[in-house]
Amino acid sequence: MTRHDWTLDEIREIHALPLPDLIYRAQTVHRAHHSPDEVQGCVLLSIKTGNCPEDCAYCPQSAHYKTEVEGETLLSIDETLAGARRAKESGATRFCMGAAWRDAPQGAEFDRVVEMVRGVRAMGLEACCTLGMLTQEQADRLGEAGLTAYNHNLDTSPEFYGSIVTTRTYQDRLDTLERVRNAGVTVCCGGIVGMGESVDDRLRLLQQLAAQDPHPESVPINSLVRVAGTPLADRPSVGPIEFVRMIATARMLMPRAMVRLSAGRLALSEEGQALCFLAGANSIFMGEKLLTTPNPGIGDDERLLDRMGMRLCAEPVTETPAPAAA
């Protein structure tokens, strides 16, 4: 049953269940819609790194903070497609291109991204982009190029958002998400835990995500990667059980979504990650780098999945309409 009207009290009740009950219920929902022994492998590539004009307190790519990230201009189509080819060879079926822009640019740079999308789709991979805010025309052009998904996170609750991001509003985010929907592109939208938010803030984020109709097809749950130079560098980390509760609750509220165990895996033990899979996470980012921060190596992930008797999805999961003729 798909619902969009979860109350905060209902969500609190789920989230606070004894862990065995929570995992049992999340597993039951998970098994009704997904194969319990498969996870989708995704690979991220930062196609435009750093010098971002936005002020997002968690982000190493914001120009407002002095971090070790070196700014780079937009990659070439060839460099990007070489990354997509490597991703496919490593067993990923989804390739995500991230750019540190406040909003997607107009003109030649945008045309280049559109060509990247066509190239990634031509390899039989799902293509995802995250480029900041979009106009309707840009969303439509990405859709015509065959983009599978657009990632645009709500990050946290509406109430806590202003303490983390000061250069755009929650409503700006919702507006871009609506344009993505209008363009027939699936939505990838999630958030981050460990920024100093309360448990209720996390649950209000999930409430916001589940209120969307349809639900986001993809829900990345990130644990803050604390980067020196950002204002959140010293926030205490969220323990693994807390993190698992967040994953399980996301799975309960959005049964059909791909729940992606995203940033923060290096801080989780193998056991912690295994619990996340039991709680309904069914996707990971593979490869030693996320956008700018480290991530477990492919060998580690292969060993973990193998020991668990699990495997990577062999085929793309999310259906994408065929690209329009160029």
Q: Nearer to ligand DTB by C-beta: 68 or 306?
A: 68
Per-residue x/- mask for ligand DTB, residues 220 to 239, rule CB under 6 A?
Answer: x-x--x--------------
CB 40 within 8 A of CB 258: yes
Residue 56 a catalytic site member: yes
Per-residue x/- mask for ligand SAM, residues 233 to 272, rule CB under 6 A?
Answer: ------------------------------x---------
Q: How far is the CB of 70 from ligand SAM (least distance, A)?
A: 15
Instruction: Label each residue of 230-283 as H, E or C.
Output: CCCCCCCCCCHHHHHHHHHHHHHHCCCCEEEECCCHHHCCHHHHHHHHHCCCCE
**Interface with ligand SF4, residue 100, by CB under 6 A:** yes
Element (H, E) at 162: helix 158-164
In the list ligand SF4, ligand DTB, ligand SAM, none, the entry touching 62 (Cβ below 5 to 8 angstroms by class) is ligand SF4
Residue 129 a catalytic site member: no
Say what angle helices 8-15 and 240-253 make with each other, to 10 degrees.
130
Q: How far is the CB of 281 from ligand DTB (least distance, A)?
A: 13
**Interface with ligand DTB, residue 105, by CB under 6 A:** no
Q: Nearer to ligand DTB by C-beta: 138 or 230?
A: 230
DSSP 88-123: HHTT-SEEEEEE--SBPPPSHHHHHHHHHHHHHHHT
Among 14, 39, 45, 56, binds ligand SF4 (CB under 6 A): 56
**Angle formed at CA 90 by CA 88 and CA 92, multiple of 5 degrees:** 55
Amino acid at position 121, single letter: R
**Interface with ligand SF4, residue 62, by CB under 6 A:** yes
Point out the residues that are catalytic: 52, 56, 59, 96, 128, 188, 260
Residues near ligand SAM (CB under 6 A): 58-59, 61, 98, 100-101, 130, 132, 152-153, 155, 192, 222, 224-225, 227, 263, 291
Binding site for ligand SF4 (CB under 6 A): 52, 54, 56, 59, 61-62, 100, 102, 132
